[in-house]
Structure 1
Amino acid sequence: MLNNGNQKIPILSFYTGGGFMDMGFEEAGFEVVWSNEHDDDFAKIHANGITSWRKSRGENRRAEIFNKNSIVEVSDKQIIKEAFANDIPKIFGIIGGPPCQDFTINGGVKGFEGERGKLTIIFLDKIKSLKPSFFVMENVPGLIRKESNRNFLESLLDSLKVDYEIDYQILNSINFGVPQSRERVFFIGINKKLKCSVDFSQGKFQWPRNEKYESALSKFSWPSVNKFGSGIRKPRNLPIELCVASCLVKQVDRKKIPNANEFFRFVKNGKRLEKIKEGETNRPSFRRLHRYRYSPTTCYGNNEVHLHPYENRRISVREALRIQGVSDNYIMPEEVTLSKKFKVISNGVPVPMARELAQKVKEFINLSKSKKNTDIESKTI
């Protein structure tokens, strides 16, 4: 079941959340045929958001989380039955971002000993047993930067290397046109049956690059801080799409744009927050974004709050979604709490970064297919 004509390569999505990484893969031409999300509110957000987004793309296929059980309780047989009505296809992929809190400072850095850290082990076990043609795993850089985590992880990956070529790389979303500095580590595993020397050089995957935005943090001149409420001009040669300004919703448009009027109101001390300067993001909490700078990593929770650059309020759900590169056609349902909405956004993979990575995977598979066909033709001759 290769990518013949309009036939799309199927994807199984684990720890799906709001489906941001799924969107990137679907934009690249894959098809998510199965998903798993244990949190009921996350599942509601996913169903509403992905369905509305697909509709805007001319697709009538409704989105749903196929399995809401804890992944610990889901058997391989059940996954296969739910994902593939007929036979298992010759080519399919697995993607997912296991919960990362145990590999962060805020999460106590419990690593693989933590309950969430153990879910990474389960994810890799599923790959070992389901044997997809390829897999993509996303997590925080702390998964490899701390030596004890990295050593244990590499021992887990070693057991997969019998069947897979594996490589990993830390990517920053701003280098793919996203107005946010968000580092994440991605793991790529390609089944050796698909190995093609064009995309692997000494076992290394050819990672995506965007020449326009590459090294954006050092390439462009970024402003520092400004007094709250002051007028500011955009620096020359600074791409506006890399700035928070491109994500802000004007007050007159808040009721017109879905989720744009949804933000936490200040209960007290609202006036005192005006003392926080625009661009003052090196704070433990209540960080005020700069309109002509990128956002720090979206991590709403643990008392971290991102403030609007020149309005005395917190940023809205829509503005946060835009900072993650999510289309305005992705609409979150009204009945889900703001806390859950912001948590889903925080956990997501920026869509443009996921799309470029997915395109690289697709190129590899198509090259592998071409190489295989060429080999067959040569033998026939």
Structure 2
Amino acid sequence: MGQTAAVSALMWITVVSLAAWCWLLLFQGFFWRTDVRLPAHGEPAAWPSVCVVVPARDEAAVLPASLPSLLAQDYPGRAEVFLVDDGSTDGTGELARELSRRHGGLPLTVGSPGEPPAGWTGKLWAVRHGIGLARARDPEFLLLTDADIAHAPHSLRELVAAADTGGFDVVSQMARLRVESLWERLVVPAFVYFFAQLYPFRRISRRRSRTAAAAGGCVLLRAGMAERARIPDAIRHAVIDDVALARAVKGAGGHVWLGLAERVDSVRPYPRLHDLWRMVSRSAYAQLRHNPLLLIGTVAGLALVYLVPPAALVAGAADGNAPTAVLGALAWAGMAGTYLPMLRYYGQPVWLAPLLPFTAFLYLLMTVDSAVQHHRGRGAAWKGRTYARPDAVPDEG
């Protein structure tokens, strides 16, 4: 009797999992499609001026592969680069100056803001300093880009054209992350897939939609909107600063666009699982607003959506319960099918698609670990700094 009840319960749980996948497939903004790229655009009548702001902390290892690509931008208007050395100990600032002398191209200014005051993350304090330096040039646009991001020669030109002719206040591209090691192949495409599931790109560009997100590695922002939305002061304590920036801009009545990049790439390697684990876990609990109930709900949701289908297939086949096995197989097939476009975007083999439950289990563990580290006082730690939860930070004024 007990075994029959357990089998029946598993079957109904699998039904719910399959229903969840049907809903995700049809009603979650078609998140699984990878055709959201820069909107079609013409060229501005007059090319706006742009200042590029690059916050950098201990980035000497990646700067030679990224900074020259910014300096070499083929942009018809006035543009210059401001690299903000955020307390580096590896010679990041001097290396940037040397790369500028060696490669030439756009003018480069290297600044240093000093240690961030209480209530500021290091990156946003550096961004604030860089925007302050840029204001002296009175730019129409600001490109906020990370020190590990390499841009193709026409990247800035295409970003500005899309924003100017499309009427966007933010145009952001999800940089193509490096996928070379085994762990990068397993984890990186799924990272972008899960992000798109949380923030469907198609919804972000709708003016009336409340969905707002950006990709911090590449954010083109109108300077006027930065002032109106009080960027970055309004989001100074945000660990997930790109999403916070997009929300602030939308809250100020701005128009945001986010899509996948074709000519913007991250050059930062994540060869070991430990490196990827740190990347995800440092901000996962912040994404859940440090809320234990949201953590429990997220763990349960990940288990229901990603772990139940393969478990149901295996258990159903072992017990001779054909309906449960078939339902599990259908849900697993739907899951793998939605993952295939992202794998193709990253040029990965299709046999990785059925392994998505394993990767989801890793993300589940990373999320739990993020909460554990937070409660141990080591949450949101990055490059020698640990940030408090926002409600623990006294508000200015």
> What TM-score results when the alignment is normalised by the length of structure 1?
0.27
> What TM-score results when the alignment is normalised by the length of structure 2?
0.27
* Larger relative helix fraction: 2
